[in-house]
Amino acid sequence: MVAYPKVYAESLNDPDRFWLAAAGAVSWSRPPQHALDDSRPPFYRWFPDGRLNTCYNALDRHIEAGHGDRQALIYESPVTGSSSQFTYSQLRDEVARFAGVLRGLGVEAGDRVVIYMPMVPEAVVAMLACARLGAVHSVVFGGFAPKELAARIADAEPKVLVCASCGIEPSRVVEYKPMVDAAIKLAPAPPSAVVVLQRDQARAQLGPRDHDWDELMQKAEPADCVDVAAADPLYLLYTSGTTGKPKGVVRDNGGHAVALAWSMTNIYGFGPGDVWWAASDVGWVVGHSYITYAPLLVGATTVVYEGKPVGTPDAGAFWRVISRHRVNALFTAPTAIRAIKRVDPQATELAKYDLSSLRTLFLAGERLDPETYHWAVERLGVPVVDHWWQTETGWAIAANPRGLQPMPIKPGSPTVPMPGFDVAVLGPDGEPVPQGSEANICIKLPLPPGTLTTLWRDDERYVQSYLSQFPGYYATGDGGFFDEDGYLFVMGRSDDVINVAGHRLSTGSMEAVLAAHPAVAECAVIGVRDSLKGQVPKGFVVLKAGVNVVPGVLEEELVKAVRRDIGPVAALKEVTIVDGLPKTRSGKILRKSMRAIADGNSEPVPSTIEDPAVLDALRTVLAPRE
Ligand code: COA
Ligand code: AMP
């Protein structure tokens, strides 16, 4: 180990020098003279005097440098049987024209635009068009229900909403437009215009505020890049917290561009002309950072994939795309690999394809279980590299820096902290615990460039959610430990956030839906281990006194209610009626003990338990099942 320790130490000892040097990878209309503005802690800003445009950095500058004919985006959609490709010039032209569409609808720098789209190139076009105007996009994942979309519209107050008429799931065509209409009805300050990309699988009926994407594009004048301050917001991305209300993570322009460019070169070892595929969704942070922005910022080719890893059409779906487009790295969640392994354990499909272009498999989004790790290494014969990050951080907190200095891989560890992330493992008293002991993973402030700057219009919640538990630190919500080599091991969330198929969800919001049912006195939703999705939610409800129900009927109603109010992505399939929930004497439900029993672990039951018999009675319904 030579380069990494030096680089990491420099980033912490002299952040100004380190990040100003890294800022050289980005084109600025006014280059920053300072990196960190720490005049208003705990609200730090990066490159306070710099000005730039993120879309210019992602597209125009590559064209100006003579690379307009290079592939920028490859779209592969096995679910529709279509594919297409865009050079940098073609993508820039589409983006500039759609920026003109948005401007024609009154969108200016600072205005918000909500994007609710499946994995189509137009989703990337819409994001970059917002960036081009200095407008702030907020992409909402298509698996969320109208109520969740409405909550995001209410908070972001977008001027315009951009959607597609439908998305395609293996078992059904999902009509988006009726959901948008329902959400708009619920939102107190709805957008004044909705732009609809019509897809043949289900064309939408347009109303008075709706516009057809194609028609507007035909008439639009291309718009130029609008210069913004580095600290101006680029996007809002809502993520699950411990309570039902989603948190609007605010990402800036300058810090984001610098951090992502650094990560592409140094973590992923990627550069101009490489073909990069992040098999995620633009509705999640991985999609923002590594489908849309980072690959384009460094002049690489990004693959936009609409479909699942298996069944579209078979278990070779991923391998087919890699071989067809000579993909150099795949980035996905472990759950996708588990899905493939489940239907094709011997990897017979994989053997049919030439995967010689593939250099690395990057995995993140949930804990990488050693079994999945070993299967992937053996079958693919390339390094399988875990790394750990969150919506809030926007890029890896801990990773194996393949571009800077590849480090030995230890299964189960996302490896070492990345520059600017001063990671500490703190006990409940806020003191660092001895090496090897598991406790709260925290990051000393300030966080590096590219991380969240606050929560949208809610500085107070930002401080209360992340900065108040351990003063001077950002609390990640994850627990873990460092080993003797300085490798970090991330073991799981220490709060009520769960991770289902790489999707981050709040059990609190599911509990809110269950509790709203008139028959329910109290409830708990816990995440239990699942061999495919990592975790799945399970609900437990206690009925109000005197309520009689037909077995199975209420349970089904509650499952449907969660799907209706949160969306299919919540993946709550099981609710059980129980006589009581285990609680402490102060009335707190012992979810942690329930989780431990459900996962087959031996979690000591706290001495503060009110009535141990209640927990004992639950053991049979909680016991793990395959
Ligand atoms: N629009 C509408 N519905 C959606 C949706 C979308 N964009 N995405 C998912 N859903 C629906 C699914 O159809 C499913 O509905 P169902 O209950 O009727 O079957 C439900 O939401 C749950 O989806 P999911 O948890 O993704 O399960 P799945 O069985 O459809 O797929 C995997 C499981 C593992 C194959 C899939 O989640 C996957 O490929 N994940 C890895 C990649 C990834 O998304 N990573 C994100 C972070 S890197
Ligand atoms: P999200 O904000 O959706 O990216 O989810 C972030 C959460 O996913 C983290 O707080 C972790 O709990 C989990 N996570 C992400 N990557 C990893 C990883 N490599 N190992 C373990 N957990 C991870």
Vertex 37: Cα angle to 35 and 42 (nearest 5) = 130
**Contact between residue 252 and residue 52 where contact means Cβ atoms under 8 Å apart:** no
Tell me, in angstroms, the distance from the centre of ligand 1 to residue 190's CA.
28
* Cis before 313? omega within 30: yes
Quote the DSSP letter at residue 303.
E
φ, ψ for residue 227 (rounded to 5)?
-70, 130
Q: Please compute the mean of the pLDDT values over residues 575-603 and round it to a whole number.
A: 90
Q: Is the CB of 174 under 6 A from ligand 1?
A: yes
How far is C-alpha 569 from the chain's CA centre? 13
pLDDT at 605 over 90: no
Give the C-alpha distances (Å, rounded to integers) separating 542 from 44, 566, 582, 624. Answer: 46, 21, 11, 21
The predicted pLDDT at position 625 comes to 67
Q: Is the dihedral of CA 197, 202, 206, 207 positive or negative?
A: negative
Residue 208's contacts (CB-CB under 8 Å, 6 or more residues apart) are none
Overall pTM > 0.85: yes
pLDDT category at 495 given cuts 50, 70, 90 is confident
pLDDT at 626 over 70: no
pLDDT at 239 over 80: yes
Residue 44 tokens read as 């730090």
pLDDT category at 357 given cuts 50, 70, 90 is very high
Q: What ligand 2 atom has the least distance to the C-alpha of 493?
A: 12
Cα–Cα distance for residue pair 150/192, rounded to 1 Å:
14
**Contact between residue 64 and residue 225 where contact means Cβ atoms under 8 Å apart:** no
pLDDT digit string, tens, across residues 166-204: 999 988 999 999 999 999 999 999 999 999 999 999 999
Query: Which residue's CA is the nearest one to ligand 1's atom 44?
Result: 280
pLDDT at 321 over 80: yes
Cα–Cα distance for residue pair 526/116, rounded to 1 Å:
28
The predicted pLDDT at position 179 comes to 97
pLDDT at 603 over 90: no
Q: Please compute the mean of the pLDDT values over residues 337-350 and round it to a whole number.
A: 96
pLDDT above 70 as % of the chain = 99
Cα–Cα distance for residue pair 90/59, rounded to 1 Å:
10
Tell me, in angstroms, the distance from the centre of ligand 2 to residue 330's CA.
18
Q: What is the CA radius of gyration of the chain?
A: 24
Residue 534 tokens read as 């990592």
Tell me, in angstroms, the distance from the centre of ligand 2 to residue 65's CA.
37
Q: Is 24 exposed, middle or buried (0-12, 13-18, 19+ CB in 10 A)?
A: exposed
pLDDT category at 475 given cuts 50, 70, 90 is very high
Residue 281's contacts (CB-CB under 8 Å, 6 or more residues apart) are 119, 141, 142, 287
Cα–Cα distance for residue pair 15/21, rounded to 1 Å:
10
**DSSP SS3 for 583:** strand
The predicted pLDDT at position 114 comes to 98
The predicted pLDDT at position 282 comes to 97
pLDDT digit string, tens, across residues 363-412: 999 999 999 999 999 999 999 999 999 999 999 999 999 999 999 999 99
Half-sphere exposure at residue 235, Cβ-oriented, CA atoms within 13 angstroms:
34
Residue 550 tokens read as 């037909």
The predicted pLDDT at position 459 comes to 97
Give the C-alpha distances (Å, rounded to integers) separating 85 from 71, 305, 312, 319, 347. Answer: 7, 12, 20, 19, 29
Q: Is 326 exposed, middle or buried (0-12, 13-18, 19+ CB in 10 A)?
A: middle
The predicted pLDDT at position 624 comes to 76
Residue 152 tokens read as 């995001």
The predicted pLDDT at position 600 comes to 86
Q: Is the CB of 400 under 6 A from ligand 2?
A: no
| Ligand having the closest approach to the CA of 415 | 2
Q: Is the CB of 142 under 6 A from ligand 1?
A: yes
Cα–Cα distance for residue pair 135/109, rounded to 1 Å:
4
Cα–Cα distance for residue pair 95/71, rounded to 1 Å:
15
pLDDT at 44 over 70: yes
The predicted pLDDT at position 246 comes to 86
pLDDT at 620 over 80: yes
Q: Please compute the mean of the pLDDT values over residues 134-146 and round it to a whole number.
A: 97
SS (H, E, C) 533-574: CEEEEEEEEEECCCCCCCCCHHHHHHHHHHHHHCCHHHCCCC
Q: What ligand 1 atom has the least distance to the C-alpha of 501?
A: 37
Question: What structural domains does the chain harbor?
Answer: 3-306 (3.40.50.12780), 497-622 (3.30.300.30)
The predicted pLDDT at position 2 comes to 62
pLDDT at 341 over 90: yes
pLDDT at 94 over 70: yes
Tell me, in angstroms, the distance from the centre of ligand 1 to residue 569's CA.
6
Tell me, in angstroms, the distance from the centre of ligand 1 to residue 576's CA.
23
φ, ψ for residue 543 (rounded to 5)?
-85, 155
Cα separation of the two ends of the chain: 43
Element (H, E) at 184: helix 177-186
**Contact between residue 598 and residue 538 where contact means Cβ atoms under 8 Å apart:** yes
pLDDT at 604 over 90: no
Q: What ligand 1 atom has the least distance to the C-alpha of 310?
A: 35
Count of beta carbons in the 10 Å neighbourhood of residue 457: 13
pLDDT digit string, tens, across residues 411-448: 999 999 999 999 999 999 999 999 999 999 999 999 99
Angle between the N-to-C axes of helices 553-565 and 507-515, in degrees from 0 to 180, rounded to the nearest 10: 130
List b or e across 290-323, with b for residues whose CB sees 16 or more CB atoms inside 10 angstroms. Answer: bbbbbbbbbbbbbbbbbbbbbebeebbbbbbbbb
**Contact between residue 539 and residue 572 where contact means Cβ atoms under 8 Å apart:** yes
Element (H, E) at 278: strand 275-278
What is the residue-averaged pLDDT of the chain?
A: 96
**Contact between residue 59 and residue 71 where contact means Cβ atoms under 8 Å apart:** no
Q: Please compute the mean of the pLDDT values over residues 511-536 and round it to a whole number.
A: 95
Tell me, in angstroms, the distance from the centre of ligand 2 to residue 502's CA.
8
Cα–Cα distance for residue pair 518/535, rounded to 1 Å:
28
pLDDT digit string, tens, across residues 99-138: 999 999 999 999 999 999 999 999 999 999 999 999 999 9
Q: Is the dihedral of CA 75, 76, 80, 82 positive or negative?
A: positive
Cα–Cα distance for residue pair 302/294, rounded to 1 Å:
9
Cα–Cα distance for residue pair 179/403, rounded to 1 Å:
43
